[in-house]
Chains A and B, each alone.
Chain A
Amino acid sequence: MSDYHDAVVQLLDVTKGFRRDKIEIPVLTNTTLHIPRGDFVAVMGPSGSGKSTLLNLCAGLDRPTTGQVIVNGQNLGQLSEAGLSKWRSQNLGFVFQMYNLMPVLTALENVELPLLLTPLSRSERRKHAAAALRIVGLEDRADHYPRQLSGGQEQRVSIARALANDPVLLLADEPTGNLDAHSAEEVLELMQSLNEQFGTTVVMVTHDPKAARSAKRLLHLEKGTFVQADIEALEASR
């Protein structure tokens, strides 16, 4: 499947469940997954299949009930909450469906946010943020506030923010879910080019088969386990 030694994400026999009213509801069951460096994986599946839980586990936002999650060589189970925060700031980039930009900050300042956690000086942070905005093609919108941007532009700013700290892994949760077809295409092209040009590993959760097509690989989750799937079969089944 892939070279385990070069895997950015490794889930080893991971089970994750939630307790509700004393009942354990399984979300992921004995899941093992290896995502190699430079991969672009789309994760699809019906609601409640465990897609977001998978993303949360990869980000260290949640801990597995059993099993291990190793990202970029780091066993996340060995890190404290503060350690996870620091690790996330150095290794991960997030792209959300709702963009999650700070309305009181300009595009450039939003991109600069994760860099506040680094020892970079203000001018260095600005330089990095401007470079990230240039990559997403929004250098001319640096001083614009989110309310002055279109949905597609907002998402591109959020991608620039995710890129600012040069992450090894980009986690995208329904990045095109709120966009029109044209903007969605632009965002997907951008993510593809980041993956191809910079070798950034991308894990994208999506409901949209068109979005999934931009990925190199498709993972399909059904009731907490991965099942074999390809885009054509998926589209045909719809």
Chain B
Amino acid sequence: MKYLPLILRNVFRNKVRSIFTGISIAISLFPLMLLYAFLDLQDDMASSTAQYNRVAVLHEGGLAGQLPIAYVDRVRRQPGVKDAIPLSWFGGNYREEKTQFAQFATDPKVFFEIYPEYACPPDQIAAWQSDKTGCLVGSVIAENKGWKIGDKIPLQGNIYPVDLELTVRGIYDGPDTADRSWLVFHFDYFDESLKEARTPNSGNAGIIMLRTESASKMSPVMQSIESAFASSDAPVKPMTEKEFGASFLEMMGNVRGFIRMTATAIVIALICVAANTMAMAVRERTREIALFKAIGFNRNTILGMFLAESIAIGLLGGLIGGIGTKFLFSLIDLSSVDPGLGMFYVPWRTALWGVALAAAIGLFSGLIPAWRAANVSVIEGLRKVV
């Protein structure tokens, strides 16, 4: 600790260089933080939903397949199942917007049984349940779109050849990790619209979401449902909600692998930048290092001082990049820019991970320069003076 003031003075002795190095670390951390925040959010949502014992039932062929709506009642009757709802992705375009947000046709009477973490005033729930063309929207998307109760929401069919005219009857809220960017509406209205359009898709649900009575019943319920429909025309594949969420990422390819690869490339580039800064510092201060050694500072102390200096520069970048990104995205909601992104924020652990990563970048970038500093020849170093 007694060396700290000296280390900090050295960090800022060439302010422009240190600040620019810190900023380059911060700017490079920025996209990295977004990518990792995206992954962390997926994990957070998955772990926060684990307590609700939800199981998604899909067609064996995946999301492209459909399940007869009659399956919902059959699933509901399986032992250990608390309740079940259909969830059909509508995927319509809202006005001129090209990107879509989450729109699901479901059963309004059972929806809150399956998603108890969502909260909505009872009068709004009742209004939604009694209006076939009514819909419920999440607080995040309602704020982004400026929707309020009574607003009309026209959705132009993209996947299905039908357009829907919905009315906002309620706005639901929930904890931070709950997705509050959905729009949910009556399955009956959706199905009737399909029938009117004489499409072969009517009478089918995209997936069925159920809740089991307890966590211990999830596995037997999944097994019994799988075997119950095994020999039907539409065999099913049940999976936990967490697995279901992960399957979306898998559909995009090896996203985690891609993000790690990108992160590695960025980190290596940053280590080179920061190492160059430290190498310049060592070169410029050869005389001082020689003096330090002459008056009794040993090799390890000098190594430690330069490593600490390098870590401090990394931390400077980490604080700007990590904590800065966290606060920036608490002010800016990405889903207002691109509704397809859904909810987005930078969790604290992602921000702190960014700070730690920057410190590690500082450490690794300082290794070679610090080693060189520790091994400066006192005689050679002082010869530069006398």
- Interface contact A88-B295, CB-CB below 8 Å: yes
- Interface contact A90-B296, CB-CB below 8 Å: yes
State A92–B288 Cα separation when bound (angstroms): 17
- Interface contact B2-A114, CB-CB below 8 Å: no
State A96–B9 Cα separation when bound (angstroms): 23
| The residue from B6, B298, B379, B382 contacting A96, defined by CB atoms under 8 A apart | B382
- Whether, in the assembled complex, A144 has its beta carbon less than 8 Å from a beta carbon of chain B, the answer is no
| The residue from A56, A82, A113 contacting B298, defined by CB atoms under 8 A apart | A82
- Whether, in the assembled complex, B252 has its beta carbon less than 8 Å from a beta carbon of chain A, the answer is no
User: Which residues of chain A (65-114) have a CB below 8 Å from chain B?
Assistant: 81-82, 85-90, 92, 94, 96-98, 100, 102-105, 109, 113-114
User: Which residues of chain B (283-309) have a CB below 8 Å from chain A?
Assistant: 287-288, 291-300
State A73–B38 Cα separation when bound (angstroms): 67
State A94–B298 Cα separation when bound (angstroms): 16
| The residue from B6, B13, B296 contacting A114, defined by CB atoms under 8 A apart | B296
- Interface contact B295-A94, CB-CB below 8 Å: yes
- Whether, in the assembled complex, A189 has its beta carbon less than 8 Å from a beta carbon of chain B, the answer is no
- Interface contact A52-B386, CB-CB below 8 Å: yes
- Whether, in the assembled complex, A208 has its beta carbon less than 8 Å from a beta carbon of chain B, the answer is no
| The residue from A88, A97, A105, A114 contacting B386, defined by CB atoms under 8 A apart | A97
- Whether, in the assembled complex, A154 has its beta carbon less than 8 Å from a beta carbon of chain B, the answer is no
State A109–B2 Cα separation when bound (angstroms): 12
Would you give the shortest CB distance from A204 to chain B, in whole angstroms?
Answer: 13
Scoring B13, B291, B296, B379 by chain A CB atoms within 10 A of each residue's CB, the highest score goes to B296
Chain A residue nearest to B293 (CB atoms) is A85
State A59–B9 Cα separation when bound (angstroms): 29
- Interface contact A59-B294, CB-CB below 8 Å: yes
State A209–B13 Cα separation when bound (angstroms): 39
- Interface contact B6-A61, CB-CB below 8 Å: no
- Interface contact B299-A102, CB-CB below 8 Å: no
Would you give the shortest CB distance from B88 to chain A, in whole angstroms?
Answer: 67
- Interface contact B9-A104, CB-CB below 8 Å: yes
**What mask results when residues 263 to 294 of chain B are scored 1 for a CB within 8 Å of chain A, else 0?**
00000000000000000000000011001111
Chain A residue nearest to B296 (CB atoms) is A89
Would you give the shortest CB distance from A145 to chain B, in whole angstroms?
Answer: 11
**What mask results when residues 56 to 71 of chain B are scored 1 for a CB within 8 Å of chain A, else 0?**
0000000000000000
List of B residues within 8 angstroms of A173 by Cβ:
382, 386
List of A residues within 8 angstroms of B298 by Cβ:
81-82, 85-86
User: Which residues of chain B (1-27) have a CB below 8 Å from chain A?
Assistant: 2-3, 5-6, 9-10, 13
List of A residues within 8 angstroms of B386 by Cβ:
52, 96-98, 173-174, 177
- Interface contact B296-A98, CB-CB below 8 Å: no
- Whether, in the assembled complex, A25 has its beta carbon less than 8 Å from a beta carbon of chain B, the answer is no
Would you give the shortest CB distance from B82 to chain A, in whole angstroms?
Answer: 66
List of B residues within 8 angstroms of A94 by Cβ:
291, 294-295
Q: Interface of A with B (CB < 8 Å)?
A: 52, 56, 59, 61-62, 81-82, 85-90, 92, 94, 96-98, 100, 102-105, 109, 113-114, 116-117, 122, 161, 173-174, 177
**What are 19 of the A-B contact pairs (CB < 8 Å)?**
A56-B379, A85-B293, A85-B297, A86-B298, A88-B294, A88-B296, A89-B297, A90-B296, A92-B295, A96-B382, A96-B385, A98-B386, A109-B5, A113-B292, A113-B295, A114-B295, A117-B297, A174-B386, A177-B386
Q: Interface of B with A (CB < 8 Å)?
A: 2-3, 5-6, 9-10, 13, 287-288, 291-300, 378-379, 382, 385-386
